[in-house]
């Protein structure tokens, strides 16, 4: 999986402990983040959802700036699709990481 932000293509990988990471960082579960991404968001909210699933770490502040520059309304649906795939995975579990 990957997500395009402006001219950047960022690889993603879902950690086994994504639920725990999201709860610690945002206070929200995976399903709650997916619902939040279905509606209007600010760049910081999209960054909070995307940061834990990036294959290469990027600070949430830098990520929020990239998202804002690319357009939140452009990036948000892309991240929402990633979360839809996380919630409803296909037959295989490719792209998972265990760190």
pLDDT digits (tens, 9 = 90+) for 28-82: 999 999 999 999 999 999 999 999 999 999 999 999 999 999 999 999 999 999 9
pLDDT bin (cut points 50, 70, 90) of residue 98 is very low
**In the chain, count of helices (H) and strands (E)?**
5, 4
pLDDT, residue 89, reads: 83
CA distances 77 to 30, 31, 91, Å, are 16, 15, 23
- What one-character DSSP code corresponds to residue 12? B
CA distance 10 to 28: 23
């Amino acid at each position: 999986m990957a997500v395009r932000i402006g001219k950047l293509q960022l690889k993603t990988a879902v950690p086994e402990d994504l639920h725990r990471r999201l709860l610690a960082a945002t206070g929200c579960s995976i399903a709650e983040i997916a619902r939040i991404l279905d509606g209007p968001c600010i760049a910081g909210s999209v960054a909070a959802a995307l940061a834990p699933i990036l294959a290469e770490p990027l600070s949430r502040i830098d990520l929020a700036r990239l998202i804002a520059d690319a357009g939140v309304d452009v990036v948000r649906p892309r991240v929402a699709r990633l979360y839809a795939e996380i919630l409803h995975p296909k037959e295989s579990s490719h792209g998972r990481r265990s760190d």
